[in-house]
Structure 1
Amino acid sequence: MRQALATAERAGRPEDVGLAYLHLADLLTGPLNVIEEGVVVARRGADRVVELGLGRTFETRLLAVAATGLFRVGQWAEAEKVIADALRHRPSGADAVELLLARCRLSVAYGDVTAADRDLEAVATLLAGGGARHVLPLLTLRAGLAMWQGRHDEARQAVARGLTETRSDDLVLLATLAWHGLRAEAEAYASRTGRIDLTAVRRLRQVTHRVRRTSVQAARPVRDVVDAFLALCTAEVSRLDGPGEPALWARAVEVWDRRNHPYPAAYARLRQAEALLTRRGRDVTATAARLLRQAHETAQALGARPLREEITALATRARLPIPTADHDPAGAGNPSGTPDELAALTPREREVLALVAEGLTNREIGQRLFISERTIGVHVSHIFDKLQVRTRVQASAIHLRRRPR
């Protein structure tokens, strides 16, 4: 794709340049999981297509890709800015759908029900019987919103519609929808307000089996994304038979941490802690407490209110302390018990961490500090090791909590 972009630039074909930027950004932020680079490519491409006079279509789609990538790596505030900037041009039709879905994804995660409902209705109107590429994400978001509201039947209906009314062969979309369906059944069971729909569970397990079997033939990057969602599916199934299996949730945590997607990783930590707390033993309780602290830090940094509230509720039931942004007993957010986690960082590492917390990529930090991107990567790795975190969001949460007020 990089070669195609260079070829299009040399040939002076503006539309080919726009398409090349769009496909490259899609690949980087999606299957290839080089998300920060993909966001940079998408934003650079948006600027370039404006220079080429291509109108707003390519710019809008590229900014939607950038916003989705920013959501995945936990830079939600920056994603909001990108979406707001793109929507100022008042896109219509299919151009607006991607942006509205991206904004709705944020609203669902923030717990802003009114905003999410508004965008879901707008997307449904714009689609008016459109293809699975947008219908499945729409129904998945409907299911996610309904679950945070405790409306499990509505979540089930949205998932059932997705499986019945579309004929999508997109493995990632199907795996994501299946996870939401299995989660809805598990939530209904855990809430004791409804029974498990065994027919729905059987169908969802058939879908996950088909996706798993088909993904063997897919390219490795696509297979990795599918496997991450299937790890969540497998772990959710364990909740249908009881409190859940900690090892399966630990596997989901590992997969999503490796992909640097903090939101699903925090959710998996919550469920792993929940499963552990049904076991006995001081070590088990300590592990659950650590997982809840980590999940809470991520949810707090993201602004993921529904997830944060569920983490807090579980901690309260288990009588475990959860630090907040305004009250963090010395060392409570750090398993080592160090009063100031940032004390271990060098002045340069603190400088880099501050810029990470602003949402800058390694390349942008390097440009700001006049040092190479590779050197910034080394600094970030050292920061992660010293703070005992795995993601930029977790590191940013510590910086924001410890900075002078």
Structure 2
Amino acid sequence: MTMSAPAMIGRHADLARLEARLDEVRAGAPFTVIIGGEAGIGKTRLVREFTAGLAPDVRLLAGQCVDLGSVAAPYAPVKTALRTLVAEEGASRVLEAVGPGRAALVALLPELAASESGDVGAPGAGIASGQLHEAIAVLLETFSRERPIVFMIEDLHWIDAASLTLLRFLMRALGSSRVLTVLTYRSEDVTRGHPVRTFLSEAERDRWVERRELGRLTRAQVRKLAKSLMADEAPSESVFDTVFRRSDGVPFFVEELVGIDGCRDEGEVPDTLRELLLARYERLSESAQELLRLVATGGVRISHALLAAVHDGTPDELDTAARESVLAGVLMIEGDDYAFRHALVREAILADLLPGERARFHARYAEAYEAAAATGTRRLAAEISYHWLGAHDAARAFPATMQAMREARAAAAYATAAQLGERALGLWDVVPDPVAAAGMGKLELMGRTASHLRNAGEGERSLALIKAALAECPRDEPQYPRLLRDKALYLGNLGRPGSIETLEEALEVLGDSGADELRATVLTALAGRLMIDGRLDDAVDMADQAIDVAAGAGSPRYTSVATNIAGVSRAARGEVEQGVALVERARELAEGDGGALLRYWVNASDMHYLIGNHREAVRLAEEGLARAREQGVERSSGVILASNAVDPLFALGEWERAEELIDRALALDAPTPFNVYVLRARIWAMLWRGDTAGATDLYRRVRSSLLGVMEVEMQTRLGVGRVAIELALANDDLPGAWREARCILDEIHPPLPGYALPYLWAAARVIAAVRARPRAVTDATASEVEAAAPAFRALLDRMTFWPSHPIWGAFFEAELAEASDGAGAGVPGTDIAAWRSAVEASAASTAPGFLAPYALLRQAEAELGGADRPAARASLQASLDMSESGGVGAVRDRVVRVAAAAGIALDGVGGGAGLVAAAGGVAGSAASDADGAATAELTARERQVLELIAEGLSNRQIGERLFISGKTASVHVSAILRKLGAATRTEAAYRAGALS
């Protein structure tokens, strides 16, 4: 009788699905399959069958998560998988393939340092988690070009926090690879609050992820499985009925029930699950049982060398007991390791240990790991800490926990480092002389743990821990102002108020006796927060003080950052040339300092965009983004730099290039204070490209998450506020548009001109709309708008110093100017001369590209009001041509509507003659002929999209139906409208129906 069924039963559809996904991966489409199910359901058997059938050209990199309690060893399953790659390809080739990420990979796998010439630096020196994640992604992508890779991680329910964060990154970042990621987890262990539960919810929203839950076997499948296990001995119906009922269709339970010797009638079937799991174990000799209890204490899988180190018998006694356990089907041999045939058996045996026995076994493992750590290159402090805790020896667990925290930090496993720091803090009061054992005081440990939490994305917990440290720290301790500074930084990272007041308190505490280096960091941080809050004069004063202190302390980094802030603040208050010069001076001071250079690229790229130097802004932002990726901070500074490239790319009309940056930035799942900028950019782009519904939906979904950042950042209030105004206008919600527009009048400090000027243009559109349609709002609102109009103009007049003022000022005036005669007399936005001035202003090299077609459209509308149809047709044609070539779909759609309403035929609008004829009440066949020719030009995918348009689906719904992104669906819709010459989706749907 076999221990396991010779053939897999009931999982052939799941196996075929895995094989189909691998075929897709071969073609260059990376994919992730997540396999869940209850214990014993057959997850391991399925993936074993799958990997056993892999073709020779497929590389398998597999790792298994380790059960080390609440804090698992960082990257344990990932290290196992990558060491397979190193063994196959050699350390030198792996390091060569990873390129700039060599130091990060060495930090993860210190044994690789032996193959290096010493140019990668000390392992872990300056390594950020982003660098390590990027290095692993590059490694997998590089080797997958040679051979498809199956990257498999089993037992996700035991995964460590660092590995889980890495998986999140890889699922989004492996966009150009041939990697099939296969993950397994035990569903009943992923309970509410388990980190994997959130991971699974996020993964389900990704179209490149498939989650499969394995179900229980049917009665027929259980019968087939039982027969395969019993060979020629078919079970009686009564035994089979009992096996089916007691196993509940779980394959492992079927194997255990059938595998019990003499199980030929119901009386032989164990009464409880525990008895079933221990049935084979209890038939073994005492020496074999003791060995299994020892193995269970060590984990699901134990190497022979480690087992020999912890076993207190002779080698022969170990071999005899191990052989007996293997023959009984309790243990399996996998290479040089012993592994339980199923984790459930290990857990049942572990629960059977006596308390004293458990503590002794844990102590043996701890000592064995300590001996291995003293002689090898692998980091084992997490294992040592876990086992000393299991042995109830806090005095020896504490230093191991501290070392494990340092090792996790060296490997950029911030989440694990934070967990270990919290464990050490929990042991602090029960350990003799913890300061000596830790090498630091409790407050410093709290500060470092809070920093690890922040770097792990746990902003709220990091802030809570800093607050706890401040509560324990006397105000006159040197640590107190440092903790205040950290609290202010964490508040800022969370987009929460209070940073300025906290930094001011830190300066007060420092007085005249504080260290200059700390004072420089506090002054610089305060100057930055004041700048973001719009308190420009205060920001300049504070930045100047920071420059003096930082220079005196010999700190080029903070001298550079403070100079940078002083430059931006001076420019924003009117000293533009001096401000730009100071920002460039900041770059000179930052040379060689990665952090200071990133601050330069962020502020310099934004400044150049706001003054209209769009190509220079793109160059600076992309230069900084490349460095951010190298430094492993793409999820923070990199996301901001991506957004700084996106806005000028929009201005240049390079929408697709900008969308790629947005997709990449959002895929990194950065904290909201960083994501806010790319979210705002995406919403604005969707609106101006013609997807008002999609933009409105996205804005409603993310608005609540943006509010916190808007509260503490003026630039975010103005940037998001402008988008909100334009969305409300596009949805014909004048009361809502006015609520958003008037907010700028509530700013306590003068608004930042680069952000305020476009906002004021949007506000002028609201004022004009209310004046033109006063009945669309209440009388009170109409009166409020009229009363506030002079304040908007006063704000505009205050910003004449800003380089782009002539452009935005011309548009502001054109929106409000009224024609003196004709149909537009007395109506805002109908003065032809004002719109001609706006068209002239939009032709400047510093003007965003979308303004020109908009200005020409508005000029055409004014010309129609003045009964100058030839001029109107020329303006509409020019607007149409520019909006189509520039990708400004919203303007193009409006041009077509205006032309159709006026009965004006435009070149390049398919069916134009038909539109004119319809307006005149005359029908003809020319349109149908043109439509037929245009439809013939549609690709197969476009025809699919056209059918879904006819069903009334949105771009997002089309994307979900066809397994493409909403953005890609939008591109297809735009192409269909262009080819059919349709002005709207409804018109396209009509034509599709007419031609079917």
Q: Alignment partner for residue 826 of structure 2, among 230, 236, 241? A: 241
Q: Alignment partner for residue 131 of structure 1, among 700, 708, 713? A: 713
Q: Contact (CA 8 Å) 1:132, 1:168: kept in 2 or not? A: no
Task: After TM superposition, give the deviation of residue 190 of structure 1 in Å.
Answer: 4.3
State yes or no: 1:21 paired with 2:625.
Answer: no
Q: Which amino acid aligns with 2:874?
A: R
Task: After TM superposition, give the deviation of residue 46 of structure 1 in Å.
Answer: 0.5
Task: After TM superposition, give the deviation of residue 71 of structure 1 in Å.
Answer: 1.0
Counterpart CA distance in 2 for 1:21 and 1:305 is: 32
Mapping of 1:3-22 within 5 angstroms?
Answer: 3-9=585-591, 12-22=592-602
Q: Alignment partner for residue 782 of structure 2, among 189, 194, 197? A: 197
State yes or no: 1:30 paired with 2:30.
Answer: no
Q: Which amino acid aligns with 1:48?
A: R
Q: Which amino acid aligns with 2:795?
A: R
State the match for 1:142 in structure 2: 724
State the match for 2:858 in structure 1: 271
Shift >4 Å, 4+ stretches: 165-168, 188-193, 325-329
Specify whether residues 188 and 299 from structure 1 end up closer, same or farther in structure 2 by C-alpha distance, changes over 3 A only.
farther
Q: Contact (CA 8 Å) 1:273, 1:289: kept in 2 or not? A: yes
Q: Which amino acid aligns with 2:597?
A: V
State the match for 1:395 in structure 2: none
Q: Alignment partner for residue 98 of structure 1, among 677, 688, 697? A: 677
Counterpart CA distance in 2 for 1:131 and 1:161 is: 14
More moved, 264-273 vs 122-131 = 122-131
Q: Alignment partner for residue 768 of structure 2, among 186, 192, 200? A: 186
Task: After TM superposition, give the deviation of residue 234 of structure 1 in Å.
Answer: 1.0
Q: Which amino acid aligns with 1:106?
A: A
Counterpart CA distance in 1 for 2:729 and 2:813 is: 19
What per-residue deviation string (whole Å, max 9, x for no partner) do you get for residues 170-219 of structure 1? 1233332232222123234546753682431341332222331x224x3x
Q: Which amino acid aligns with 1:279?
A: G
What per-residue deviation string (whole Å, max 9, x for no partner) do you get for residues 195-254 of structure 1? 682431341332222331x224x3xxxx23123212111111114932611111111111
Specify whether residues 55 and 301 from structure 1 end up closer, same or farther in structure 2 by C-alpha distance, changes over 3 A only.
closer
Task: After TM superposition, give the deviation of residue 93 of structure 1 in Å.
Answer: 2.6
Helix, strand or coil for the counterpart of 1:268? Answer: helix
Kindly indicate whether structure 1 or structure 2 has the higher relative contact order, using CA contacts under 8 Å at least 6 residues apart: 1
Q: Which amino acid aligns with 1:318?
A: A
Task: After TM superposition, give the deviation of residue 70 of structure 1 in Å.
Answer: 0.7
Task: After TM superposition, give the deviation of residue 293 of structure 1 in Å.
Answer: 1.0
Task: After TM superposition, give the deviation of residue 95 of structure 1 in Å.
Answer: 0.6
Counterpart CA distance in 2 for 1:27 and 1:174 is: 14
Task: After TM superposition, give the deviation of residue 3 of structure 1 in Å.
Answer: 4.7
Q: Which amino acid aligns with 2:854?
A: Y
Q: Contact (CA 8 Å) 2:625, 2:642: kept in 1 or not? A: yes
Specify whether residues 85 and 22 from structure 1 end up closer, same or farther in structure 2 by C-alpha distance, changes over 3 A only.
same
State yes or no: 1:66 paired with 2:628.
Answer: no
State the match for 1:322 in structure 2: 906
State the match for 2:927 in structure 1: none
Helix, strand or coil for the counterpart of 1:277? Answer: helix
Q: Alignment partner for residue 655 of structure 2, among 72, 76, 96? A: 76
Q: Contact (CA 8 Å) 2:672, 2:705: kept in 1 or not? A: no
Q: Contact (CA 8 Å) 1:208, 1:230: kept in 2 or not? A: no
Specify whether residues 229 and 121 from structure 1 end up closer, same or farther in structure 2 by C-alpha distance, changes over 3 A only.
farther
Helix, strand or coil for the counterpart of 2:712? Answer: coil
Q: Which amino acid aligns with 1:301?
A: S
Task: After TM superposition, give the deviation of residue 165 of structure 1 in Å.
Answer: 6.2
What per-residue deviation string (whole Å, max 9, x for no partner) do you get for residues 138-178 of structure 1? 22111101111222221112112343366452123333223
Mapping of 1:1-400 within 5 angstroms?
Answer: 1-9=583-591, 12-31=592-611, 33-54=612-633, 56-110=635-689, 111-119=691-699, 121-128=701-708, 129-164=711-746, 167-190=749-772, 194=776, 197-212=782-797, 214-216=798-800, 218=801, 223-239=802-818, 241-242=826-827, 244-258=830-844, 259-280=846-867, 284-324=868-908
Q: Which amino acid aligns with 2:859?
A: Q
For structure 2, the 5+ residue unaligned runs are 1-582, 819-824, 914-977, 980-996
Q: Contact (CA 8 Å) 2:621, 2:641: kept in 1 or not? A: yes
Helix, strand or coil for the counterpart of 1:224? Answer: coil
Task: After TM superposition, give the deviation of residue 81 of structure 1 in Å.
Answer: 0.8
Q: Which amino acid aligns with 1:122?
A: V
More moved, 195-204 vs 313-322 = 195-204
Specify whether residues 54 and 310 from structure 1 end up closer, same or farther in structure 2 by C-alpha distance, changes over 3 A only.
closer
Specify whether residues 173 and 241 from structure 1 end up closer, same or farther in structure 2 by C-alpha distance, changes over 3 A only.
farther
RMSD: 2.8
Specify whether residues 120 and 3 from structure 1 end up closer, same or farther in structure 2 by C-alpha distance, changes over 3 A only.
farther
Across the two proteins, how many residue pairs are aligned to each other? 320
Question: Percent identical across equivalent pairs?
Answer: 21
Task: After TM superposition, give the deviation of residue 28 of structure 1 in Å.
Answer: 2.0
Specify whether residues 198 and 173 from structure 1 end up closer, same or farther in structure 2 by C-alpha distance, changes over 3 A only.
farther
Task: After TM superposition, give the deviation of residue 327 of structure 1 in Å.
Answer: 6.8
Q: Which amino acid aligns with 1:308?
A: R
Q: Contact (CA 8 Å) 2:692, 2:730: kept in 1 or not? A: no
Helix, strand or coil for the counterpart of 2:804? Answer: helix
Counterpart CA distance in 2 for 1:22 and 1:131 is: 15
Helix, strand or coil for the counterpart of 1:90? Answer: coil
More moved, 295-304 vs 115-124 = 115-124
Q: Which amino acid aligns with 1:285?
A: R
Counterpart CA distance in 2 for 1:69 and 1:191 is: 34
Q: Contact (CA 8 Å) 1:152, 1:185: kept in 2 or not? A: no
Counterpart CA distance in 2 for 1:82 and 1:5 is: 25
Q: Contact (CA 8 Å) 1:168, 1:174: kept in 2 or not? A: no
Specify whether residues 131 and 89 from structure 1 end up closer, same or farther in structure 2 by C-alpha distance, changes over 3 A only.
same
Task: After TM superposition, give the deviation of residue 298 of structure 1 in Å.
Answer: 2.5
Q: Which amino acid aligns with 2:790?
A: R
Q: Which amino acid aligns with 1:127?
A: L
Counterpart CA distance in 1 for 2:609 and 2:808 is: 16
Counterpart CA distance in 2 for 1:88 and 1:63 is: 12
Task: After TM superposition, give the deviation of residue 54 of structure 1 in Å.
Answer: 4.1
Specify whether residues 47 and 61 from structure 1 end up closer, same or farther in structure 2 by C-alpha distance, changes over 3 A only.
same
What per-residue deviation string (whole Å, max 9, x for no partner) do you get for residues 286-312 of structure 1? 222111111112222344333222222
Counterpart CA distance in 2 for 1:57 and 1:102 is: 17
Q: Contact (CA 8 Å) 1:182, 1:201: kept in 2 or not? A: no
Task: After TM superposition, give the deviation of residue 43 of structure 1 in Å.
Answer: 0.8
For structure 1, the 5+ residue unaligned runs are 330-399
Higher helix share: 1
Counterpart CA distance in 1 for 2:704 and 2:879 is: 33
What per-residue deviation string (whole Å, max 9, x for no partner) do you get for residues 247-294 of structure 1? 1111111112213422122111111111112224xxx43222111111
Larger radius of gyration: 2
Helix, strand or coil for the counterpart of 2:697? Answer: helix
